[in-house]
Structure 1
């Protein structure tokens, strides 16, 4: 007996069944994920799914995992076959036998139900990587031609197959990134041995009565002024009458604030024809709706939405629910043909980073929340997902925290196997009819999952290349059918696009490897045929930074690896990128390090200089974009003419898929270092930044409400501590725009070697809004623009900072105070007559291990002579907090470990 595939979309709305022996689901409207799996290779148990899917099978020799979802490698790690720490050490990942994954594997689970007359049961998948045969109780539910695609969710009716005891067997087939619609990594990191094969998303069982609902869509229309005028809300869901006769039902709609109170409830009677599909549409009005904002602009109030269907006897048949927020997102192409987004009617400069899934596609909601809190701590407002659409928890967390998300399809594999994609090593770059069907199912499923979430900014239906006309039409139709509420963009690059979407208005011109800070403030010559790096909307670019500190490196690099890291710039480092990529070595970075800061004298010297390189390069990139934020309706910056605004930037990347050596703002162990704090200084909502190329100071304001009187204090200091220049200037801040406010070329006239420049911005009350210290050389880097390639612009002459290797030692006094409410406060005072350069703080426990995750309000700071600063560290919400001491060290400051003392409020709490 074959089952009926009812439709191709269903949201994740499940709970995990945990009671042993209890029914997995037991009432209409209930959905539960398969909570655990027995796992084995078909090389051991064969491929007779009819037998493997019958109850009572002896699986004692199988692998057992207590997770609802995991790829083969993820499952085997959970089962104890592999150890993550060992896998990630040196090149141990290469020692995993990938031949074991060249045959299908079986996922198996037994569960109980309570079937009775009038009940219906469904098996819901949300994408299995990349193909699967599904059997239940000895009968086939779906073949691998039906269940295909890592994002292609399906719903199968299994009512006629279920009993009180049930056995489910899923046979997953080996994944080929170039032939299957999978979740890949390109050259970000080595590929996992299983290519991500397996049940990487939940498989669920759902129970309903005679009527079943598809996902809930929420359509809102805001009135103006926002939050005062009423908003229209429409709830939509397709209802399936599963019976052979007409049925009259009562449909109830609910909209209510998640915080409680103010619920709007209304009903509607409907008669559904036999075996019909009816689109239920329920309209209402919410008076004075609370508006959802990105965190940088406001609060994140959320609302519950729900549709329930009850039969004539009052019994519940099914329910569909979701959370949503009142917000609007629109997109325009400005006069430079650049994409510009508007959120709730306000120009929104995207400042964000790219996200990577775990290398084995494992999901950890708490880890994701920590990463989003890091994003917000940096001053970023957006995360781009290139094909890593993950799970509903990703978007729910982003909704709650106020981070915008840019999902979309990935590059460089089957997803972009087009005849015009000349960058792809695909044997036959042409989609078949079946491929288009899989892509369509995938779009339908992902759109249904994402549609209600206010954090979703847009959807990119292409990454490096745009989809062909047929795929574009399918994608757009799927999105329209699910009332997609935000802009759809053809690709993340500036290639040709379909007329169905129009131009992308986005760029993907690199770089991906190290470039000097001045790169981000430069305008290439006309001969280079490139736009300024800071202009327009750039969807992935960076100087390839993210060097972990020694405490992290020692966890995954062998002594020989560590030796090669600083001694041999040409060494192929396994933890850089996939073998054969352009990023196997740190050669470009290391050449610049030696030329600018001097050849490393050892590992510690190399790592300190690497943090300096990371800090200054990432800060410059972020500031290059935030300083050029000038929405078209704003006045032109002084200096002549309306310039090309920087409308968006996605840093490549926020995080890495495993312990890596670059492309990360925090490392695998959640340790923020130089790249992180460079980004944080550059990402403040209000700040003043230095343009080394233009010899100018820019006032940055990315807030909606920050306006009025400000002061900028400018100080220039020689390396020996002598003051070169000091000035305080008043300025007026204007919300949501940046402008050039001061020229400093004459202030730095005659500088020899290197000086320090400090810029401090305060508001009308004297509160410090930003503090920024730069090291300014008497020469700039010179860039070879005409030889720019897709990942780097060569440097023909480097700025020289080697004079800072000769800084006189500085003595920094430090005290660290533990406060239960406020975390740890560290007071630093430079007791010397020279600057204390690039002083870092690291919180450790009693064993000397890093205390993570955490946020600092600043780090890697440079103190003026006799200057005192207080820096605070806080535990990320929900994490254990057991610090014992703070490690303090700098470029010219010897390392000291400062034990924590306890402040009064901590003592009071303790008592």
Structure 2
């Protein structure tokens, strides 16, 4: 995120994913698919004792911790880290938990997502180290024992059974991976591990920060946010297992697999081990002789193992382009005495290319087929609480919106996130974040402190660990080694050396901005914004953030949530301020002075639609405005994807979701409710789509399906707000290629007789059988928004005059009926089918009619996936919508349907 000031539903089952990474700071990777439950029912101060799987090659995650501030613990580290130490008065914490997340779970503080409660949490409590303590039991000591972990924020001294095994100089950085051999300290029965976690400052540490996304948590996320694993094994350890794939493109008829691992002899004697492996029915093995304490690479290459040449491989595709098959690698190191270690890894076969096109923009292709990147920026939970169901729901929302990519600027999520992305077919663009220590060396004190000698090995270890963790995920299509600025040559080479050592398989991108790095060259991306309000026609102008090239983060800024969510997050006084005081600072917007208020947005809302008359009116105008703006952003990029001179190659909406209760940068809110921004994106990205172009009045058909469409009919009608039709035109025999191709079906005249200043445009696309396949309704003005590009700054382009959409307020009331039936499925899901009809007898359309599924108390049932919503219907027209949700989210009540709209009275009817 570019910043010029100091930052003041179904859940699929997944196989366990196990692997290990190579030796940078003795790195070991161990990936597990499940998250052990948190400990709300544990005795106060006592984390559950973890029973370790004794099998060689096993990995067991610690179930949780007991935590307490070092300011309240006088005992020595040796005492704290010894079995049997009393932890009365300590707080229970989950297996992955920041300090503040644990305190919130314990009920120490009020809901930080409401009002200004978070302000009341004293930051001084987190200015000292905190102890994290956990016990685990071993059945015996016949196997070697290792601790493997990452996700320590920001650094830690580590103790096992009363002895220090690592210090904070070695265990530093949120992403570094560590393996500690504690065999000599381990004993049968109860063992104790304790971490003395250091405070975090993102400006000083290579960890995670929140930039200007939200009000940062008072503890700055200090804690342990990934699993701490206890590994068991014999004398020979297998580490760094992975598969390098080479797919024949464009035929996709064959693929070569190269299996690699590191075999390490941890004993004092030479050994010969047999390393054998399988990938489905394919088997291979070799003997490896190792001197005492020697590490040796093990490689199975197709030249020596021709069975690793696959004919007709099962190729992985992004959603909508094909299937998402995965392969499983299993490796075993055996000695005459038995199995010594095992490693497992899932991987996909696909090819990713991203050259620069003639215009200098990065153009991604998957398996030889170019695609427009349609993405959203990812934000995890503010307190880094991992909830697999919640994340799976959000990723399903991304697919529902027609997105194909998620960008992670820092906050690179745990392994399960990428497992989910692999299986959903969502591409991911991970990378380091801006505006803190990660960019300190490049951008000076504006971003963070300059690097010291100690930072370079932490950066290299971070890159090595993330590269080893992510490389086999087919969903990962790049790593952005810079964010707002490309790294300097020294840092870039540090990153590239680590990536090369890890066999990184996809393009490395210098920065998210229009930067060049000394070695990797131009990023091929732009980061021109905007980040605050601009009108819909902005996206069609081929300058700044408009629809050309690859825009790595951009949106029109504020995304006001639904009234349901606003009432959950703001006090009555704050709700009044929200609509009455555009210049008021909004705590739920940003700590940045640039984004502290909603003035630009509110001025535009009043200037275009008329001053709000109350909270309800403010929110309904906001939903209308957000629908049209988000729709225009994605539509402009889609239309220009095949432009002959300056094609659009990618756009990432800033942002897809927020980590807390926010007033900006979100297509869906913290509670997974859906408003105008959500349904505007869903409309724009539908598979076969008809749309209006703000720049030239063209009516365009965009085909996101893989195959061409022919014999289509495009019908356009223009109406005054009272429903009077003043223009009508039809184009028949419309054809359009597949894979994101577009074609102009017809162009509207510059002037239409009898058209009012504010008017409606209804676009309908039908197939050869006359079936409607796309409908799109616009509210437009004969007076366009006027942009002042000469005064563009880094976050927006000013608007000197607004489009006049005030005529919408004069629309007569429309009468709408709705009825629904609900069917419960055996898998715990339910589907409600809703018929919505404009029952009026005149000409008045029902504009942006919204249906919310609610429970008996009127609360939204969330998450929910609608086939369509916020629809506009003319008298006599009806549509059928479906809503899919978890039956349990009704909490035993019957479903109800709350129907509302721009010019429709709110009513609630039975949904079953």
| TM, length-normalised to structure 1 | 0.92
Q: Is the 8 A contact 1:545 1:675 kept in 2?
A: no
2:312 equivalent to 1:281: no
Shift of 1:154: 0.9
Q: Which residue does 2:242 correspond to in 1? A: 217
Q: Is the 8 A contact 1:12 1:126 kept in 2?
A: no
Aligned pairs for 1:429-448 (under 5 A) are: 429-448=449-468
2:506 equivalent to 1:479: no
Aligned pairs for 1:512-531 (under 5 A) are: 512-523=531-542, 530-531=543-544
2:31 equivalent to 1:12: yes
Q: Which residue does 2:44 correspond to in 1? A: none
Q: Which residue does 1:511 correspond to in 2? A: 530
Match of 1:350 among 347, 357, 373: 373
Query: Secondary structure of the residue that 1:318 maps to in structure 2?
Result: strand
Q: Distance in 2 between the 1:13 and 1:811 partners? A: 54
Q: Which residue does 1:908 correspond to in 2? A: none
Q: Distance in 1 between the 2:897 and 2:562 partners? A: 15
Q: Distance in 2 between the 1:272 and 1:371 partners? A: 47
Q: Which residue does 2:713 correspond to in 1? A: 711
Aligned pairs for 1:254-273 (under 5 A) are: 254-256=278-280, 263-273=281-291
2:577 equivalent to 1:564: yes
Q: Deviations over 1:350-382 (max 9, x none)?
A: 001000011111111111110111000000100
Q: Is the 8 A contact 2:33 2:415 kept in 1?
A: no
Shift of 1:718: 2.1
2:314 equivalent to 1:294: no
Query: Secondary structure of the residue that 1:628 maps to in structure 2?
Result: helix
Q: Deviations over 1:567-591 (max 9, x none)?
A: 000111111111x431111111100
Q: Which residue does 2:262 correspond to in 1? A: 238
Q: Distance in 1 between the 2:366 and 2:711 partners? A: 27
Aligned pairs for 1:306-705 (under 5 A) are: 306-313=330-337, 315-418=338-441, 420-421=442-443, 424-426=446-448, 429-495=449-515, 497-523=516-542, 530-531=543-544, 533-578=546-591, 580-630=592-642, 642-705=644-707
2:141 equivalent to 1:131: no
User: Which range moves more in the overlay, 437-446 or 813-822?
Assistant: 813-822
Q: Which residue does 2:899 correspond to in 1? A: 888
Match of 2:834 among 826, 835, 838: 826
Q: Distance in 2 between the 1:561 and 1:499 partners? A: 49
Q: Is the 8 A contact 2:861 2:889 kept in 1?
A: no
Query: Secondary structure of the residue that 2:659 maps to in structure 1?
Result: coil
Q: Is the 8 A contact 1:398 1:404 kept in 2?
A: yes
Shift of 1:31: 0.7
| TM, length-normalised to structure 2 | 0.92
* Distance change >3 Å, CA 569–CA 205, structure 1 → 2: same
Q: Deviations over 1:709-763 (max 9, x none)?
A: 3221212222222222222212111012223332112574552222211112233
Shift of 1:17: 7.7
User: Which range moves more in the overlay, 15-24 or 214-223?
Assistant: 15-24
User: Which range moves more in the overlay, 619-628 or 236-245?
Assistant: 236-245
User: Which range moves more in the overlay, 282-291 or 662-671?
Assistant: 282-291
Query: Secondary structure of the residue that 2:517 maps to in structure 1?
Result: coil
Shift of 1:14: 7.5
The alignment of Structure 1 onto Structure 2 pairs a total of residues equal to 865
Q: Distance in 2 between the 1:874 and 1:538 partners? A: 33
Q: Which residue does 1:809 correspond to in 2? A: 813
Q: Which residue does 1:111 correspond to in 2? A: 136
User: Which range moves more in the overlay, 88-97 or 825-834?
Assistant: 825-834
Q: Distance in 1 between the 2:652 and 2:33 partners? A: 33
Q: Deviations over 1:746-789 (max 9, x none)?
A: 57455222221111223334443321100121110000111111
Query: Secondary structure of the residue that 2:797 maps to in structure 1?
Result: coil
Q: Deviations over 1:229-286 (max 9, x none)?
A: 2321111111111122221111111112xxxxxx212222222222111111123123
Moved over 4 A (4+): 14-22, 224-227, 876-883
Q: Distance in 1 between the 2:453 and 2:239 partners? A: 26
Shift of 1:318: 1.0
* Distance change >3 Å, CA 146–CA 22, structure 1 → 2: closer
Gaps of 5+ in 1: 257-262, 524-529, 631-636, 902-911
Q: Deviations over 1:630-674 (max 9, x none)?
A: 1xxxxxx6xxxx221110000000111101111111111100111
Query: Secondary structure of the residue that 1:889 maps to in structure 2?
Result: strand
Shift of 1:891: 1.5
Q: Is the 8 A contact 2:50 2:62 kept in 1?
A: no
Query: Secondary structure of the residue that 2:364 maps to in structure 1?
Result: strand
2:65 equivalent to 1:63: no
Q: Is the 8 A contact 1:615 1:676 kept in 2?
A: yes
Q: Distance in 1 between the 2:256 and 2:603 partners? A: 59
Match of 2:728 among 706, 726, 729: 726
User: Which range moves more in the overlay, 300-309 or 733-742?
Assistant: 733-742
Q: Is the 8 A contact 1:541 1:650 kept in 2?
A: yes
Match of 2:65 among 19, 37, 43: 37
Match of 1:872 among 879, 882, 885: 882
Query: Secondary structure of the residue that 2:355 maps to in structure 1?
Result: strand
* Distance change >3 Å, CA 446–CA 532, structure 1 → 2: closer
* Distance change >3 Å, CA 23–CA 549, structure 1 → 2: closer
Q: Which residue does 1:168 correspond to in 2? A: 193
Q: Is the 8 A contact 2:250 2:368 kept in 1?
A: no
Q: Deviations over 1:308-354 (max 9, x none)?
A: 111123x1111111111111111110011100001010001100100
Q: Distance in 2 between the 1:886 and 1:146 partners? A: 57
Q: Which residue does 1:77 correspond to in 2? A: 104
Q: Distance in 1 between the 2:349 and 2:753 partners? A: 53
Shift of 1:15: 6.6
Q: Deviations over 1:553-578 (max 9, x none)?
A: 11111000000000000111111111
Q: Distance in 2 between the 1:46 and 1:749 partners? A: 84
Shift of 1:8: 2.1
Q: Which residue does 1:781 correspond to in 2? A: 785
Shift of 1:113: 1.2
Shift of 1:214: 1.4
Aligned-pair RMSD on alpha carbons?
A: 1.9
Query: Secondary structure of the residue that 1:339 maps to in structure 2?
Result: coil
Shift of 1:469: 0.9
Shift of 1:204: 1.2
Q: Deviations over 1:497-523 (max 9, x none)?
A: 223101000000000111111111124
* Distance change >3 Å, CA 498–CA 715, structure 1 → 2: same
Q: Which residue does 2:776 correspond to in 1? A: 772
Query: Secondary structure of the residue that 1:323 maps to in structure 2?
Result: strand
Q: Distance in 2 between the 1:6 and 1:667 partners? A: 40
Query: Secondary structure of the residue that 2:486 maps to in structure 1?
Result: coil
Q: Is the 8 A contact 1:696 1:745 kept in 2?
A: no
2:770 equivalent to 1:751: no
2:738 equivalent to 1:735: yes
Match of 1:152 among 176, 181, 191: 176
Q: Distance in 2 between the 1:780 and 1:883 partners? A: 46
Q: Is the 8 A contact 2:714 2:745 kept in 1?
A: no
